[in-house]
Amino acid sequence: MTRLTSTSLTVLTGLVGAVAGFLALTPATRPAAVAQSTPDLPPPPTSGELGFVVEEFAPPVVQGKDACPNGTVPKLKEQYLASLPEAERARLSLKENEPEFTKRWQAVAVGPGNTNICSQPDRFRRPLLPTVQSATAQGLDLDGGGAGDTCGHQEFTSPAGEMGIDNQEYRVMGCTLEWRGKDGIAGDIASGLRQFHASGEWTQVILLRGIDSFDRDDDVEVIYANTADRPPVDTKGRFLAGASFTVNASGPRHRNVLKGHINKGVLTTEPTDIVLAQTWGQGGARDIRGSRSRYTYHRARLRLVFRPDGRLEGLLGGYRPAFEVIQSPSIGGVGAATTAGIDCAGMLGTLLKHADGLRDRKTGKCTGVSSAMRVTAVPAFVNDLPQASGAMAR
């Protein structure tokens, strides 16, 4: 939390007025689809500024048995057991043979020179993982039907019927237990990421400047950044509206300056690179590829809808380096494989097989995957960096 200056209080007054206008509208007018426009909005704030703190930042998983008809991706020990002849599977499944079975399947996770499939996934050849089979996914059309440094791939259709959706990260990761969960219940990644955002470790804020109209505005500055401030929550863990945050671009945190426009209640930003903090608390001696991990989205953009209750809801889409998708289990090392049963090498191999972006000019192969994250943000007061200019500061 920070002390408000007289200038800040003036902007906050505009924010409170705008939020009050939002909340005066009936929630029943809220559209069901993420990317549709919202016609019943109050006038824009007199200051032209609105601030938000991101409450939800997680992969948008479309539930349904057609996505993963054979169930979630088998864990490492299940993969090993399935590779054996039937008689050997039956023998190792006996309780008295459990120590032998554990020793054998865990041996799959390690290799010569003290390597393992999560710390050094590119040194192992593992079977490709099962992928999402349905034609439906949430995301954005990032390549406009195929252009530039992209590679050919099968595109999705959104639940709302929008065609040309690019989200190869979801194709590969969407059947993992961590993403999909069981019986329609969200996977661990949804609750885990929420905790990081609530802790102040990864917390994100959005500051909009130059808003003249929610119906049509061709020039809106969008500050999408991290903050070290911890969001206040209610008894159910939901972020409280109207709290104060300060942009922080030091250490592992980042500040992105985007150019956006509003059309019928939908804010869309122009494609550019977006970098956001992702810290796992690892010490320098244990870091694998850099002191802190991060989210890196190339040719990325936001598409967010202004809701009558004052929230922003929508998607962030862009291309991520394939290895970055598996940063968390890679940092976990051999324990991610032998305890959580995650096949990092299989994941990386499958991601590279389905890579559709960041084409290497020398090899002609793509090294990144199209990606999307669901973004929900609540009204907040956001202080930008002192004397921040229009240039990106990280």
- Give one DSSP letter per residue of 117-177, joined into a string: TTTSGGG---PPPP---SSB---B--STTS-TT----PPEE-TTS-EEEB-HHHHHHTTSH
Whether the predicted pLDDT of 394 surpasses 70: no
User: For 173-189, what is the mean pLDDT?
Assistant: 84
Q: What pLDDT, on the 0 to 100 scale, is given for residue 43? A: 86
Burial class (CB in 10 A: 0-12, 13-18, 19+), 260: buried
User: For 4-20, what is the mean pLDDT?
Assistant: 40
Q: What pLDDT, on the 0 to 100 scale, is given for residue 184? A: 63
Residue-wise pLDDT tens digits, 70-85 = 999 999 999 999 999 9
Give the integer Cα–Cα distance in Å for 81 and 62: 29
Collect all residues with Cβ–Cβ distance below 8 Å to 211 and sequence separation of at least 6: 44, 45, 48, 49, 50, 217, 220, 262
Residue-wise pLDDT tens digits, 28-50 = 333 334 434 445 788 889 999 99
pTM equals 0.86
Residue-wise pLDDT tens digits, 355-390 = 999 999 999 999 999 999 999 999 999 999 986 544
